Structure 1
Amino acid sequence: MKTVEVVAAVIMEDQKVLATQRGQHKYNYISNKYEFPGGKVEKGETEEVALVREIKEELGMEIEVNQKLITVNHTYPDFKIIMHTYLCKRRGGEIKLYEHQNYQWLSPDDLYSVDWAMADVPIVKSLTEKVL
């Protein structure tokens, strides 16, 4: 089974967290699900550099990467994912959806109001228990 290693940004602003919604995908179990934005680390990049690049490419935003929050190991039916998650804040730029179909800024009380991808659920849990 293929293993994919990625980084994800928990972008916080005004006591809210950014959640982005995926579009249709060949795997229906992640289609239209909400996730924390991010992507793959390219050769020669640190996790932090990859995260800044991915957020700029996906959302047109500049971010500041702060502390590492959690690493999630999750097995989907067709692949495994290792996701290194960092707390971040927006430094500039308006959100543009280059790869997602929607986004929401969620307050701590609203974090469970969207349908998260399963690999992102432990991040939500960590946020509600430790950060927010």
Structure 2
Amino acid sequence: MKTINVVAAVIQHAGQILCVQRGVGEHAYVSEKWEFPGGKVEAGESNEEALAREIREELHLDIVVAEFLMTIDHTYPNFRILLHTYLCTAPHRRITLTEHLSFCWLPTIELDTLDWAAADLPIVARLVSPAF
């Protein structure tokens, strides 16, 4: 089974977090699900560099990668994903969608109202946890 190394950004601005909705894809179990934006790490890139690049490419947004949050090791039916997640900040909320269907900014307490991709669920659980 193929393992994919990816990064994700929990982008915070003015007390809310950016959530993006995936487009329709070849795998129904992730199609149109919500996720934290990010993408694949390319050869020679650090996770932080990959994350900043992916957010610029997909959302036309410059972010500050603040700190590592957690790594998720999740196996979908057709592939395994290692999802390295970072807390990030953005200077504003203006984005341009280039790959996603939709986006929203939500307060932490409302994150669990969306239909998340399975690999992102542990991140949501951590963020909405009273211990966070």
Assess same fold via TM > 0.5: yes
Query: Who is 1:19 aligned against?
Result: 19
- Whether the 8 Å contact between 2:70 and 2:86 is mirrored in structure 1 is yes
Q: Over residues 69-111 of structure 1, what are the superposed CA-to-partner deviations in whole Å (9 max), with x where a residue is unaligned? A: 0100000000000000000001357200000010010112211
Residue 128 of structure 1 and its aligned partner are, at CA, apart by 1.4
Once the two structures are superposed, the pairs formed by residues 70-81 of structure 1 within 5 Å of their partners are 70-81=70-81
- Whether the 8 Å contact between 2:13 and 2:91 is mirrored in structure 1 is no
Give the TM-score, by structure 2 length.
0.96
Q: Which runs of 5+ in 2 are unaligned?
A: none
More strand by share: 1
Name the CA distance, whole Å, in 2 between partners of 1:69 and 1:47.
Answer: 12
User: How many corresponding residue pairs?
Assistant: 131
Structure 1 residue 105 corresponds to structure 2 residue 114: no
- Whether the 8 Å contact between 2:13 and 2:92 is mirrored in structure 1 is no
Q: 1:76 to 1:55 in 2, by over 3 A?
A: same
Query: Who is 2:35 aligned against?
Result: 35
How big is the alpha-carbon RMSD for the aligned residues of Structure 1 and Structure 2? 1.1
Q: Which runs of 5+ in 1 are unaligned?
A: none
Residue 15 of structure 1 and its aligned partner are, at CA, apart by 1.1
Structure 1 residue 121 corresponds to structure 2 residue 104: no
Alignment identity in percent?
Answer: 50
Q: Secondary structure at the match of 2:63?
A: strand
Name the CA distance, whole Å, in 2 between partners of 1:35 and 1:94.
Answer: 18
Letter in 2 for 1:73: D
Query: Who is 1:49 aligned against?
Result: 49
Name the CA distance, whole Å, in 1 between partners of 2:80 and 2:47.
Answer: 18
Letter in 2 for 1:14: A
